[in-house]
Structure 1
Amino acid sequence: MVTAIILQSEITCPSCGHQKIEAMPTNACQFFYECEQCKTVLKPKDGDCCVYCSYGDMPCPPIQQNQTCC
């Protein structure tokens, strides 16, 4: 059975708690994300490949497919 890939993730800023649903790219990793509320620039945590894997409610598409990311 093939599981559908979820292409949106809700990012939560660790500095101010602001949340926003964003579309995840399918052809690249996103290493930086600027919070629209407090302007903090998020970077992946150690061991994570992108900001979605670190701060999103869904991991990036390659990780969802059990593949390596970037």
Structure 2
Amino acid sequence: MTAQPELISVLTCPSCGHAKVETMPTDACQWFYDCEGCGAVLKPKAGDCCVYCSYGTVACPPVQASGSKGCCG
């Protein structure tokens, strides 16, 4: 039996520190995220597949399932 991925992550903006609880999509990577605090458009850091892997408290569901960092798309 495969464990279900955790879908809730807290994204924290590196520019202003604004944090928001978000539900991650299970069917696609999220490459952009608009910060509600300062309006910055977050993009993944080099080597990460999405904003959740770069700025979230939990890696995206495809990375959780594979157990490694890498492209989930």
Q: TM-score, normalised by structure 1?
A: 0.93
Matched residue count = 70
Q: Distance in 1 between matches of 2:65 and 2:27?
A: 13
Deviation per residue, 1:24-62 (Å, 9 max, x gap): 000110000010010000000000000000000000000
Ranges in structure 2 where 5+ consecutive residues have no aligned partner: none
Structure 1 CA distance, aligned partners of 2:8 and 2:16? 21
Paired with 1:24 and 1:10, the residues of 2 have a C-alpha distance of: 10
2:63 — aligned with what? 63
One-letter amino acid matched to 1:69: C
- C-alpha separation in 1, matches of 2:11 and 2:19: 5
Q: 2-side partners of 1:4 and 1:50: how far apart? A: 19
Q: Which residue of structure 1 aligns with residue 22 of structure 2?
A: 22
Question: What percentage of residue pairs aligned between the two structures are identical?
Answer: 61
Structure 1 segments, 4+ long, off by >4 Å, are none
- Secondary structure at 2:53's aligned position in 1? helix
Q: Given the two structures, how large is their TM-score scaled by the length of structure 2?
A: 0.89
Q: Output the CA distance in 1 between the equivalents of 2:42 and 2:49.
A: 13
Letter in 2 for 1:57: T
- CA–CA separation in structure 2 for the residues paired with 1:41 and 1:47: 18
- Unaligned 5+ segments in structure 1 are none
Per-residue deviation, 1:8:
1.0
